[in-house]
Amino acid sequence: MSEAQSLFEMLRQSVKPEIVDAFARLVRDAPDRKLCRINALAFAAAEGLDEEDTIAGFLQASRLGIFELSWNVLCPGCGGVLDANTSLKTVQATEYTCALCAAGYEPTLDEMVEVTFTVSPRVRHIGAHNPHELPAIEYFRQMYWGSGIDLPEDDYEEKFDEFVIETLELPPGDKAVISLQLPAEFVIVFEPVTHAAQFLDVKGEPTRERRNLVLVFDRAHRHAETLNLQPGPLRIQVENHAEVRTLPSVCVAGEALHEMLGRRRPFLTAKRLLSNQTFRDIYRTDTLDVDQRLKITSLTFLFTDLRGSTELYERVGDLAAFDLVRTHFRVLNEIVAAEAGAIVKTIGDAVMATFPTPDRAVAAAMRMRDAMRELNEERGSEDLLLKIGIHEGPCIAVNLNERQDYFGQTVNIASRVQHLATSREIFATGSVLEDPRASNLLSDRGLSPMPHSVTLRGIANEISIFAIP
């Protein structure tokens, strides 16, 4: 049995068979470009698979060495990959600059960091394993643009040629000359390896005078200042002072380029992966450095606690109470994972969980309440009375006590909202119910949350709390 076959057989022990079969077909039959920086959500949609099961499958396959996981910092404007990392620990810069868009961005884990999967060379070798040997057109497709750009399949080359006037490969230390006729367009001389760009605003009366331009690529110069030129002949001398091959390309920033970059599709964000239970189980302590602080603009927190757990131990005895509480934890863990969430930690009889969107947290909360009711009915008692609080907002992903955790006022508010709840109540803040998917979920079930304003310790202003019946 080959190593790849052996790895897929091992994968079947933890991943659904239809997903393993889809992975095996992908690795066996897909062209090289399909195996580089795979968009897990697009793959699930194309194969008709459940997204959460597919994400878990990719994570388990990466653990075995079938795929390699990559954390890519993206430009929100053009969708280009500004930095590719094998670990989130190396996303350290406070700002990333996109030369193509001439803009700088503070990285957030919501939409600026994607997670992709590339087949391991031990399973199948592809061109992207040696990216500096890829032709320019494939380097752009496989290495520069992120997986959220929905590049055309059948006519990619033709679409690419519509906005790229000229491109060449320039080995380290080499010089070359690009001679061309400048059109009356906004032109960008862009180098995707060193991320350098020179803008040329070409307008006015055409000229026959040949102009000269010298560009040096060495990862230090960004050539951001725009030059105003007339249409006509231009001689560009390019020099590669970088340690790798560069790909200077002359592009027209017109309708063709904007149309290609405007085609977007969902992708797996770092925020969503950090709130994935399978990811947290596999990468328990190997996510963030101790001193690392990464912003998330919106994350939903759910806190639970058992009411009267001390009395429960007194009433039924330590052993029975321990078994009952452990069952409660198992049920909550299953529900959180099924709703695309992850348990961050347990504190006594309490649970702190995160979800990528408010509707998932609300759905999980209602399932939790129903599950506790069923357990109580089975026992003929009211031993498991669950209090739940939900809040959404910005936070910081950190490493605390050797685990990936979260810090910020949003976390504090979510915890205090839970403390307001009495038995069997779900309290959610206004920011949760302002989410259209969360409010639609409740209205579809005929539920009308009851609002009231409260003051929380440490919070200056009153906040709106809704009791979900």
Contact 56, 276 (CB under 8 A): yes
Q: What is the pLDDT confidence band of residue 285, given thresholds at 50, 70 and 90?
A: low
pLDDT tens track for 298-310: 999 999 998 766 6
CA distance 148 to 42: 9
Contact 287, 227 (CB under 8 A): no
Q: Which residue did the predictor score with more confidence, 411 or 311? A: 411
Contact 147, 160 (CB under 8 A): no
Residue 311 pLDDT greater than 80, yes or no: no
CA distance 287 to 172: 35
Mean pLDDT is highest, among 50-64, 220-234, 311-325, for: 50-64
Say what the pLDDT of residue 421 is.
Answer: 84
Q: What is the pLDDT confidence band of residue 314, given thresholds at 50, 70 and 90?
A: low
Q: What is the pLDDT confidence band of residue 119, given thresholds at 50, 70 and 90?
A: very high
130-140 in b/e form (b: 16+ CB < 10 A) is ebeebebbbbb
Q: What's the one-letter identity of residue 106? A: E
Q: What is the pLDDT confidence band of residue 270, given thresholds at 50, 70 and 90?
A: very high
pLDDT > 90 in the chain, percent:
76
Residue 345, Cβ neighbours under 10 Å: how many?
15
pLDDT tens track for 38-73: 999 999 999 999 999 999 999 999 999 999 999 999
CA distance 401 to 253: 49
pTM of the model: 0.91
CA distance 83 to 80: 9
Residue 348, Cβ neighbours under 10 Å: how many?
10
For the record, the structure tokens of 76 come out as: 């929100």
Distant-in-sequence, close-in-space partners of 227: CB < 8 Å, separation ≥ 6: 198, 199, 200, 201, 213
Residue 385 pLDDT greater than 80, yes or no: yes
Say what the pLDDT of residue 49 is.
Answer: 98
Q: What is the pLDDT confidence band of residue 3, given thresholds at 50, 70 and 90?
A: confident
Distant-in-sequence, close-in-space partners of 422: CB < 8 Å, separation ≥ 6: 307, 387
Distant-in-sequence, close-in-space partners of 259: CB < 8 Å, separation ≥ 6: none
The CA distances from residue 220 to 7, 132, 215, 382, in Å, are 43, 19, 12, 67
Say what the pLDDT of residue 317 is.
Answer: 64
pLDDT tens track for 240-251: 999 999 999 999
Mean local confidence (pLDDT), 444-466: 86
Distant-in-sequence, close-in-space partners of 374: CB < 8 Å, separation ≥ 6: none
Q: Mean of the per-residue pLDDT values for the chain?
A: 92
Cα angle 421, 425, 428 (rounded to 5 degrees) comes to 75
